[in-house]
Amino acid sequence: MITAVNLTKRYGSLTAVDNLNLTVKPGEIFGFLGPNGAGKTTTIKMLVGLTSPTSGEAWVAGTPVAKDPVAAKRVLGYVPDTPHVYERLTARELLRFVGDLRRLPPDRTEKKIDELMALFELTDRQDELLGGFSHGMKQKVCIACALLGEPKVLFLDEPTVGLDPRSARLVKDILRRIADDGGAVFVSTHVLEIAERMCDRVGIIQNGVLIAEGTVEELRSKAVPGKEGAGFSLEDLFLKLTGGEEYKELIRHLSSDQTSSGDSSAGDVARRE
């Protein structure tokens, strides 16, 4: 459903994504992880046709994105990391606009809007201007826009940011249903606990290079061979593979320094007394 072959993006001397190769099959939720600035958003924008690659190719549902971007976009949905909306439109007007762009039958669009507004508990607010919506509400509207065309492939960049726990759980359930119906989901997230619980496979990108890919169990066995790796969480694996363990040591060091400082201060007070 999603294929990238030697996908590369350069901005002058900076290589944001470097020869990325990956495949996401029907029925999969693929988690895309990496530190800030690793190339996650750039990769997604190339896969959905918003950014042209410097070299390499991408396919969505068998359609070459660069050669036939309109056909590719007909079968995909995209939720960006920031919920950009037309703030002088109402939620319902925005969804109607998206339905028109996708050339959906008006009666089907209206029925689907009713379903999505009810699903995201926005029915009572659907005729209000989006400029008055909170970040989380705008995020739900953007997700509704992505789902309106019933996409075969769904891309989400940090989809749960700004959502309350109930809405975040709803989104996870929706993604699972899309995958179970034979679609594919590509989700970038910083919430490693969500990725561990929700994703069938994960890929970790660092400095534009895909450094690891597979199930959590496969990554665990590669990073920490033997039984000692059984207790590793995805967070532990992420830190180990991206060199982030130094930060854990720094936090421990600072914590111990603060504790020692506190003990020393307490001892000074006791001596003065």
Q: Would you kindly state where each structural domain of the chain is located, as residue ranges?
A: 2-226
How does residue 227 score in pLDDT terms, banded at 50, 70 and 90?
A: low
Q: How far apart are CA 230 and CA 131, in angstroms?
A: 48
Q: How far apart are CA 132 and CA 87, in angstroms?
A: 8
Q: How far apart are CA 74 and CA 141, in angstroms?
A: 19
Q: How far apart are CA 41 and CA 89, in angstroms?
A: 27
**Where does residue 103 fall: left (phi above 0), alpha (psi -120 to 50 degrees), or beta otherwise?**
left
How does residue 220 score in pLDDT terms, banded at 50, 70 and 90?
A: confident
Q: What is the separation of C-alpha 230 from the centre of its chain, rounded to a whole number of angstroms?
A: 26
Q: Do 142 and 79 form a contact (C-beta atoms < 8 A)? A: yes
How does residue 60 score in pLDDT terms, banded at 50, 70 and 90?
A: very high
Q: How far apart are CA 18 and CA 6, in angstroms?
A: 7
Q: How far apart are CA 205 and CA 36, in angstroms?
A: 10
CATH of domain 2-226: 3.40.50.300
Q: Do 133 and 91 form a contact (C-beta atoms < 8 A)? A: yes
Q: How far apart are CA 234 and CA 32, in angstroms?
A: 12
Instruction: Cite the DSSP H helix spans in 49-164.
Output: 69-74, 91-101, 106-119, 135-148
* Range 54-74 average pLDDT: 96
pLDDT in tens, 135-173: 999 999 999 999 999 999 999 998 887 788 888 889 999
